[in-house]
Chains A and B, each alone.
Chain A
Amino acid sequence: MTFDPQLVHVLGGILAVLFVATAIGQTLKHVLQAPAAANTVENLNARLNAWWGMVVIVGIAVLTGLHGALILFGLLSFLALREYITLVPTRRGDHRALFWSFFIVTPIQYLLIANRWYGLFAIFIPVWAFLLLPTRMALAGDTECFLERAAKVQWGLMICVYCLSCAPALLMHSAVEGARLLLYLIVIDQMSDVFQYCFGKLLGRHKIAPLVSPNKTVEGTIGGGLSAVALGVALRFMTPFSVGAAAGVSLAIVVAGFAGGLTMSAIKRDRGIKDYGHLISGHGGVLDRVDSLCFAAPVFFHIVRYFYTG
């Protein structure tokens, strides 16, 4: 088995960056002893440790092609949906519809990608699950808050399963180019979060939406976003994009990712919690980590599909 050399190079570069970041994190731990700074550094180091695990998992997934990517994102969807449904109040009458969401709708969505059946992949959750699940809930006979309950389950499936499944769906058309595009999407999306975090910590003054996401600042978002666009242009050798197109596509990923983070935060605030889960040390749950990807993946997928595949 030979691996795509481009993927290997980019993954090697990511590991090198992570190595340098870890060295800096460990140095800061010894240099900064003040309690306020120590907390930030401790959180930074916890995040870096988790990054090592996440990079290894993503690396294996993109190197093993369509099936590796499907297994990874299928699991991510499952875990994200679980965090989402745990948080959203449901009633006894939703039980069977929830069972179907986890064990029938989610696997079918990923099996459709495995079979490269684009037509059904694109409408399965928005049409078929959309009609089927409320029917199952109506059959259960509980009408209390029916519309809210049906809407909440459908929204969770759209975000956690449909939107997230657009990431591995990049490999439907071409496994090699698709894997590069998938890694490109993940790197720009996640580095945009990292850059925004760094710029926000260093320069952040003006809060964008203090009630929704107190850590998002104008300075952090613009500085981090522009850095991510620059990275997107620098990495365009992985993609079919020209310089201008790479900048435009990266900007779309950054903006969609920002919208995802903000929207998913609004739900957390409404439910009165800080994180969706506790699976990834320093990051919260899976949904906290992939919130921006949930919005960026479908945007990126459809841009690529419309402009770059026949």
Chain B
Amino acid sequence: MNLREQVVGSTLAGFVKLVTGANARWYAEPPSPEARARVYFANHSSHLDFVTLWASLPPRLRACTRPVAAADYWASGLRAYLAQKVFRAVLVDRGKGTGKAPEPAAPKSPKGGHGDTIPRLSEVLGGGESLIFFPEGTRGDGQEVAAFKSGLYHLCATNPGLEVVPVYLENMNRVLPKGEVLLVPLMCTVSFGEPVQLGEAEPKEDFLRRAHDALCAMRDR
């Protein structure tokens, strides 16, 4: 990442922190930058979610953390510049079609994931970089955390020992809800919880429910 992208990135992080007053709360020790790659998984209700989560990380962790974002939204113009150059997002195809149609909350896809998505994400993790991941797959209304899609499970199954950290983003839907373009500068909190790991031979549904519960526990704290 060159200097210009670093400046744009830090400026954006500062701006988002200013707008959201983002108050990061760690309910577990923040990992040292030397620690192995992790996945931060969060509830999703606003376009500002990953920037806010990213901005809430200590700068040294921020440098080696990349968001997983939808290719159909972040593929062109300024969005593409921000996603690819500044945040170095890993763009993935989130579904068949354009992503405009609402997808079922918990698809029973036998393979899980979409084509090469999981291998690509695993490659990034293998390279020592962490990921920001929204397991609901799409933005919700901020009231309830929707059931997780299976991506998080496949990521853990492919990368044994992977730690996934629940991060609850509060109030983001009130700052910039789905379908809005104007920001209302309310205060948000970003709560980082204890990491979750896939148990040995743990069934997919059990793991996803456990991860979902861990995220909701951060909301209720």
Contact = CB atoms under 8 A, between A and B. Distances in A.
Interface of A: 82-83, 85-86, 90, 92, 95-96, 98-99, 102, 277-279
A92 B177 contact: yes
A82 B21 contact: yes
Contact of A90 (B141, B174, B182, B185): B174
A102 B177 CA distance: 17
Interface string B175-204: 001001011111100000000000000000
Most buried by B among A82, A83, A92: A92
A86 B187 CA distance: 6
Contact of A102 (B141, B174, B185): B185
A98 B21 CA distance: 17
A92 B23 CA distance: 23
B186 A82 contact: yes
B141 A82 contact: no
A86 B173 CA distance: 12
Given A86-B171, A278-B23, A95 B177 contact: yes
B181 to A, nearest CB: 10
Contacts, number: 30
A244 B189 CA distance: 50
A222 B23 CA distance: 38
B134 to A, nearest CB: 20
B52 to A, nearest CB: 15
A99 B141 contact: no
B187 A277 contact: yes
Given A86-B171, A90-B174, A278-B23, A95 B187 contact: no
Interface residues of B, number: 14
Nearest to B180: A95
8 contacts: A82-B185, A82-B186, A83-B187, A85-B184, A85-B186, A92-B141, A99-B184, A102-B184
Interface of B: 21, 23, 141, 171, 173-174, 177, 180, 182-187
What is the predominant secondary structure among interface residues of chain A facing chain B?
A: helix
Sorted from nearest, which 8 A-B pairs have the closest CB atoms?
A: A86-B187, A98-B184, A86-B186, A99-B182, A99-B184, A92-B177, A82-B185, A95-B180
A96 B171 CA distance: 16
Nearest to B174: A90
Contacts of B186: 82, 85-86
A206 B180 CA distance: 51
Contacts of B187: 82-83, 86, 277
Nearest to A89: B174
Contacts of B141: 92
B21, B23, B177, B183: residue with the most chain A Cβ atoms closer than 10 Å: B21
A181 to B, nearest CB: 31
Contacts of A279: 21
Contacts of A86: 171, 186-187
Contacts of A85: 184, 186
Nearest to B185: A82
A70 to B, nearest CB: 20
B23 to A, nearest CB: 7
Nearest to B21: A82
B23 A95 contact: no
A42 to B, nearest CB: 21
Contacts of A92: 141, 173, 177
Contacts of A95: 174, 177, 180, 182, 184
Nearest to B179: A92
A90 B177 CA distance: 12
| Residue in B174, B184, B186 with the greatest tally of chain A CB atoms within 10 Å | B184
